[in-house]
Structures are given as structure tokens and as C-alpha cells.
């Protein structure tokens, strides 16, 4: 419909051209996401979650703290290293300013996450884990403000899966998060890398 409310007439050729243009733009967007290094973050985080949550499901005691700390440090180093290796391909004058803002934001988000955990006073590990997951996903979605939501929408199904696991499958919550959360991130990262 046109803005005056009359039907808009377009020929089959014009419609075909418009659809081709839309397809080209979405293809370009996908290529941009694939070459931006998003998949590295996804795979690194996915591996950390897969191993960490599997261990949390089957192990107990202090060793879990060490495993999570070790995995988080390793994942962080790996993600940063691979991210830097990809950095020369990206030429953007405002990239460093944006990266600085994003870095400060993540630091503040960690503090807000800690404050929330202090106020909630979690009664078990699952509650604390869910809060951490929520804040990580808020961080990812916030990055959508800077870049675009098309590169961070995956945070929503992960959050949905986490909530389903927490409320409906508490007995296998950690295993659920390992396979569907961690595994899903790895699979999606690989898919972006190879197909987009």
C-alpha cells in the first residue's frame, strides 16, 4: 500500500529485483558477522560452558572453583588472542574508542552482577549460576546497541534454554547448560564460520 492508502502496483520484474536486493543485503550482513570474529567468542565461551557445566553436574567440592577459574582464564586468553589476530582485517577509525567503551561497560556490568548476587543472596549454586548467565547475556545484548542486534540475537535462545533448565529440569540443569548452552554456542559459531 502507498502512503495515501492506495494499492501499490509493481511488476513481477520489479518485485524480483527488490527481493534480489534484500537477499544481497542479508548476505552481506552475514559475511560481515562471519568475518567480525563473533564466532570465536561463541566457540570459546561454548567450550568453557561445555566443560565447566559438565564438571559441575558430576563433581563436587573445591575443585569446581579451580576448574571454572582455569577455564575462564583460558577462554579469556584464547578469545583475546584470536580476536587480536583477526583485528588487522578490521579497519575502523573509531574501533579503539568503541572497544574501550565496551571494555569499561563489561567491567561495570561485572560490578552490577556482583551487587545483584549480594542482594539476592543465592541459596544454591544453580541460583547463582542463573544470575551470572543472565548478566552475561545482558552484556551480549548490550553489545547489540553498539554493533547490531543481528550479531547478538543468539543470547536470547541461550537465555530461554537456561530458564527452561532452571525451572523445569533442576536435576540436570548443569548438564542441560553444558550440552544445549555450551554445545549450542559451539555449533552456532562453527555454522557462522563455515556457512555465512
SS3 153: coil
Site for other proteins contains 146 (CB under 8 A): yes
Q: How far is the CB of 130 from other proteins (least distance, A)?
A: 5
145 is an interface residue for other proteins by CB under 8 A: yes
Residue 194, C-alpha cell as written in the block: 563455515
Burial label for 134, CB within 10 Å (0-12, 13-18, 19+), is: middle
Q: Name residue, grid cell 556490568.
A: 109
CB of 157 to other proteins, least distance (A): 13
CB atoms closer than 10 angstroms to residue 83: 15
Among the listed ranges 25-33, 59-67, 87-95, 118-126, the one in contact with other proteins (CB under 8 A) is 118-126
151 binds other proteins (CB under 8 A): no
194: left (phi over 0), alpha (psi -120 to 50) or beta: alpha
Judged by CB under 8 A, the residue of 34, 71, 74, 141 near other proteins is 141
Q: Which of 40, 43, 51, 130 binds other proteins (CB under 8 A)?
A: 130
DSSP 6: P
Does the footprint of other proteins cover residue 73 (CB under 8 A)? no
Question: Which cell numbers hold the place of 152?
Answer: 547478538
Name the site residues for other proteins (rule: CB under 8 A): 101-102, 104-105, 108-109, 112, 115-116, 119-120, 122, 127, 130-131, 134, 137-138, 141-142, 144-146, 148-149, 156, 159, 163, 166-167
Amino acid at each position: 500500500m502507498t502512503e495515501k492508502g492506495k494499492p501499490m502496483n509493481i511488476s513481477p520484474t520489479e518485485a524480483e529485483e527488490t527481493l534480489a536486493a534484500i537477499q544481497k543485503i542479508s548476505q552481506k550482513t552475514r559475511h560481515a558477522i562471519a568475518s567480525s570474529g563473533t564466532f570465536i567468542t561463541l566457540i570459546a565461551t561454548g567450550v568453557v560452558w561445555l566443560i565447566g557445566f559438565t564438571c559441575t553436574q558430576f563433581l563436587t567440592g573445591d575443585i569446581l572453583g579451580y576448574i571454572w577459574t582455569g577455564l575462564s582464564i583460558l577462554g579469556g586468553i584464547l578469545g583475546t588472542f584470536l580476536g587480536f589476530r583477526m583485528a588487522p582485517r578490521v579497519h575502523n577509525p573509531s574501533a579503539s574508542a568503541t572497544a574501550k567503551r565496551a571494555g569499561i561497560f563489561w567491567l561495570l556490568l561485572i560490578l552490577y552482577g556482583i551487587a545483584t548476587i549480594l542482594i539476592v543472596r543465592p541459596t544454591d549454586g544453580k541460583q547463582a549460576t542463573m544470575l551470572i548467565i543472565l548478566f552475561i547475556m545482558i552484556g551480549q545484548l548490550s553489545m547489540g546497541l553498539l554493533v547490531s542486534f543481528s550479531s547478538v540475537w543468539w543470547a536470547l535462545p541461550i537465555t530461554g534454554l537456561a530458564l527452561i533448565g532452571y525451572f523445569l529440569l533442576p536435576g540436570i540443569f548443569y548438564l542441560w547448560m553444558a550440552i544445549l548452552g555450551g554445545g549450542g554456542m559451539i555449533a552456532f559459531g562453527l555454522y557462522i564460520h563455515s556457512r555465512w
